[in-house]
Amino acid sequence: MEYYTWILTFHIMAMMSWMAMLFYQPRLYVYHTEHQDKKEFVDVVKIQELKMYKYIGVPAMWATIISGAIMLYLNPYLLSSQAGGWMHAKLFFALLLIIYSFSLGYYRKKLEKDDYERSGNFFRAYNEIPTILSLFIVAYVITKTFSLLFTIITLLIGSFIVYKVYKQKEKKVS
């Protein structure tokens, strides 16, 4: 356990880098989608999307996963029934973040081919998902408990926010 806090530190830093990509990548997709008629602008955004995803997001995601797995290996108590189940809930929402991360790669490839099947509003709403998922993760880690009431209320409020963002009027690009 001598190195546990160093691994934890690395885990938190990797997670912060990964979250930076998760928060910013969909914003790039908004710009890309809403300015698709400006080729020079889109060409620059495509480079940003690639670098953000491939060189920051994916390595940070794997660093987060690997360091987290090492910590669980070093402290298996966290997965025991005596720990209260919060780690299982955290891991579930972390899995959803991983799936979300890969979905950003999917959308990046579609946009790279100029396939605009999704609107700017879709990506604005999609941009809210990592905030909601990270709220669960951080809350479970800090409180070291699982609360069904907190989970349901947060899901309802988060879903409402995503819906309102998605349904807002499309922005006019000049």
Query: The whole model's pTM is what?
Result: 0.91
Q: What is the dihedral of CA 41, 42, 43, 45, to 10 degrees?
A: 90
* pLDDT tens, position by position, 127-168: 999 999 999 999 999 999 999 999 999 999 999 999 999 998
Per-residue model confidence (pLDDT) at position 84: 86
Q: Which of 169, 17, 35 lies closest to 111, judged by CA?
A: 35
How far apart CA 159 and CA 128 sit, in angstroms, is 9
How far apart CA 87 and CA 79 sit, in angstroms, is 6
How far apart CA 73 and CA 167 sit, in angstroms, is 44
Per-residue model confidence (pLDDT) at position 141: 95
Per-residue model confidence (pLDDT) at position 174: 56
